[in-house]
Structure 1
Amino acid sequence: MPSDLIVFGEDWGAHPSSTQHLVSHLKRDRRVVWVNSIGLRRPRPTLRDIGRMAQKLRAMGQTTMPTAAGEPIVLNPRVLPLPGNPIARSLNRRLLAGRLRAVMAERGLRRPVLWASLPTAVDVVGAIDERAVVYYCGDDFGSLAGVDHDAVTVLEAELAERADLILAASTRLAEKFPAHKTRLLSHGVDAIGFQQPLPRPVDLPTGKPIAGFYGSIANWLDVELMAEVASALAHWDFVLIGPVQTDVAKLRCLPNVHYLGAKAHGALPAYVQHWQVSLLPFRDSPQIRACNPLKLREYLAVGKPVVATDFPALDGYRAIVQVASSAAGFCEAISVASLDLPDGQHGDDFGAGIRSWNDIRALARPRAERQQQVVGESWETRAGQVAAWLDDL
């Protein structure tokens, strides 16, 4: 019988993380207790942090029981968000372990697998009679913005030492951990969800081709590059979807750059389906070199052309992604991608070669190739592999 799971992750039901995608499949044949996010740093006196603290305080101590078969029990833990403070860590361990043991006794869970997607969960290791410990590393916490790096690096090293199995979302992340217990687990994709035809969103601009990006608009987005590209391609509209968490003054002054705000994950396929080119304009940084963005496979599942700056997670996809390292190269790549043609097969006279339906099908081939690339990369497939690893523990 599959082992039950105690999962320490981001807040359940928020914008779905890779952990939530995986657990959504794993929970179909095992019981899951999901512990909402434990802070990775001390809160700061900013509006964003104050709002986040207020939300956490309102939910603190609440437990959401499943309303349907297969849904997880969700705990909002009583903890102090001070990962570098030994007194806070000791208190958090007692509070968390006590609450989890009570829920386990109430629901009849015995010797579950403890799954940690956040290094702060290490303080509970050994306190709930878990059968095994899994560390799922989806980010480079040592370079992640808004994290207490010194404290989290220590916690992660301790968690990696005590884990029985480490799952790493990218090759760069896997290289940090002992090879004998580390497995590469690349992100998956809900291809069917992204390919289901949807009507055009009413807030998309009209009249020009659109190059779009969705995700957090944070310091890893190359704002300067985007400003140069948007200025040079005034006949294009550029759409950015997601919360703004960095200075975007250089973009806000451009009339062809549009901010549509944060959207529910389920709404995103409609936007990608109705713009012409999908963008991954990242800065080069340790965080980006270690990342494996979910949106890469989601973009490809829709089939629209993708233009990106260079980063290691593109390995295996470079034949179907336009990669550029400068503003001029990015502009050219967008123009080429918008024609849906491979390099060397574009230009003002490209239409002269179209004489039959076979020629039109040949032009459409890159779209099918992009979609085909992610056929075997569903979250269900990824979760099946994880389930096999869990059974071997």
Structure 2
Amino acid sequence: MNLAEQPEQSPILTAQNVVELSPQLRPTLVCLSHLRWGFVFQRPQHVMSRLAKNYDVIFFEEPVISPGDTPWLDTSTPAEGIQVVVPHMPEGLSPEAVVQAQRSLLDQLLAGRAQGELLLWYFTPMSLAFTDHLDAQVTVYDCMDELSAFKGAPAQLIDMERLLMGRADVVFTGGVSLWEVKQRQHGNAYPVPSSVDIAHFAVARQALSEPSDQAPIARPRLGFFGVIDERFDIELIEQVAQRRADWQIVLVGPVVKIDPQTLPRRPNIHYLGAKQYAELPAYLSGWDVALMPFALNASTRFISPTKTPEYLAGGCPVVSTPIHDVISGYGQSGAVFIAGTAEAFIEAIERALGLKGTDEFLQKANAAIEGMSWDNTCRFMKEQIECLR
């Protein structure tokens, strides 16, 4: 189910009759995030950038260790209406002291602001440890992933999520399969899969100037952009590259939580590193097939990859491993090919090669993402908030 297929959830408030908030009454929305604003531009940035049109957003990141004896806040304004806040902690503080320091710093920050109502938006339940005393008009839990299944997840995360579920007024999930689990834990939960900025990626359907690090790479090119971590199927990429040495595999994105030395190294595998969100269409424009080589493990059981609609908006056929939400959302689209083994993955790529730019494929890609947009997604989320205020 994508957002365009959501049933009417609220007879009280619809996208057409939401009353825009007066600037004098703008609530303060504190967003507690485990992902940094300056990391990969994804769901938190898309959502908060749009909600900042009506709310004063404080994007409160996880703490970093820095020299000094006193905790302090580093603040910046990367976009209108958004204040990014990074707590800096002296080395050697106990976990309890770090929690108390964050509580105190956030309280001081809020006390120094002329604010209307307070809204809390959690991307991570762990932030409840230093915000459980705040009296929010609305508390949102945006469960974009099953974080407890990720490598390095805190042992107490499951218990913290249980507490947050008890406090949240509304729960959003990053995909349908995750909603199927969380809706049994909360009576006001909605599947809100990540969406796509179609206009941003649609320019990739044109022949754009090649980025300098991709231009020398031969074709055909099979591309991936995103975080390369424990969800990435290293062995699958190794097998594809080994069996089809004439195919060039282009991997764009940061390597995190895994040892880079474990990644396959072959002449036809190209690691181009992290890129800015604005640069991605230029890379996508030069690919023949887009890949989603996710491993099938606990960390990918409930994922709903944002890159699926991004690839399609860019006019590129997609080959994916059998991720549940990809199968249910795109498996019958004719624009996304699903393959569960290395042999099947290679065969799917062979079928996908040559489709890019054809009228038939573009019609299928357009149909698969029809009605999807971050504007629609955020409008739906805002409706739920306004119904609770």
Structure 1 position 332, deviation (Å): 1.1
Q: Would you say 1:240 and 2:235 are equivalent positions?
A: no
Change in 2 beyond 3 A, CA 1:253/1:67? closer
Structure 1 position 147, deviation (Å): 1.7
**Matched residue, 2:5:** none
Q: Would you say 1:390 and 2:377 are equivalent positions?
A: no
Which whole-Å CA distance do the structure 1 matches of 2:218 and 2:45 have between them? 38
Q: Would you say 1:23 and 2:30 are equivalent positions?
A: no
Query: What amino acid is the match of 1:185?
Result: V
Which whole-Å CA distance do the structure 1 matches of 2:372 and 2:168 have between them? 26
Secondary structure class of the residue paired with 1:392: helix
Deviation string 1:64-99 (CA, Å, 9 cap, x unpaired) is 25487x3312221256999xx9x734x445433333
Structure 1 position 207, deviation (Å): 3.1
Q: Which moved more, 1:189-198 or 1:18-27?
A: 189-198
**Matched residue, 1:8:** 32
Q: Which moved more, 1:181-190 or 1:91-100?
A: 91-100
Which is higher, the Rg of structure 1 or of structure 2?
1
Secondary structure class of the residue paired with 2:115: coil
Deviation string 1:275-312 (CA, Å, 9 cap, x unpaired) is 10000111111221211111111111101110011011
Deviation string 1:158-205 (CA, Å, 9 cap, x unpaired) is 111121111111223223332412111110111111112431112114
Q: Would you say 1:175 and 2:190 are equivalent positions?
A: no
Structure 1 position 4, deviation (Å): 2.6
Secondary structure class of the residue paired with 1:387: helix
**Matched residue, 1:354:** none
Change in 2 beyond 3 A, CA 1:261/1:6? same
Unaligned segments of structure 1, at least 5 residues: 39-51, 342-360
Change in 2 beyond 3 A, CA 1:264/1:283? same
Which whole-Å CA distance do the structure 2 matches of 1:95 and 1:251 have between them? 39
Change in 2 beyond 3 A, CA 1:326/1:244? same
Structure 1 position 274, deviation (Å): 0.8
Q: Is the 8 A contact 1:93 1:123 kept in 2?
A: yes
Change in 2 beyond 3 A, CA 1:59/1:98? closer
Structure 1 position 211, deviation (Å): 0.4
Q: Would you say 1:324 and 2:339 are equivalent positions?
A: yes
Q: Would you say 1:201 and 2:211 are equivalent positions?
A: yes
**Matched residue, 1:128:** 134
Change in 2 beyond 3 A, CA 1:375/1:61? farther
Identity %: 28
Q: Is the 8 A contact 2:32 2:127 kept in 1?
A: yes
Greater helix share, structure number: 1
Which whole-Å CA distance do the structure 2 matches of 1:377 and 1:269 have between them? 18
User: Could you state the TM-score of these two structures normalised by the residue count of structure 1?
Assistant: 0.82
Q: Would you say 1:276 and 2:271 are equivalent positions?
A: no
**Matched residue, 1:344:** none
Which whole-Å CA distance do the structure 2 matches of 1:21 and 1:291 have between them? 18
Which whole-Å CA distance do the structure 2 matches of 1:269 and 1:81 have between them? 41
Q: Would you say 1:98 and 2:93 are equivalent positions?
A: no
Which whole-Å CA distance do the structure 2 matches of 1:295 and 1:59 have between them? 41
Q: Which structure is higher in RCO with an 8 Å CA cutoff and minimum separation 6?
A: 2
Q: Would you say 1:117 and 2:132 are equivalent positions?
A: no
Which whole-Å CA distance do the structure 1 matches of 2:261 and 2:30 have between them? 43
Q: Is the 8 A contact 2:237 2:264 kept in 1?
A: no
Query: What amino acid is the match of 1:303?
Result: G
Secondary structure class of the residue paired with 1:6: strand
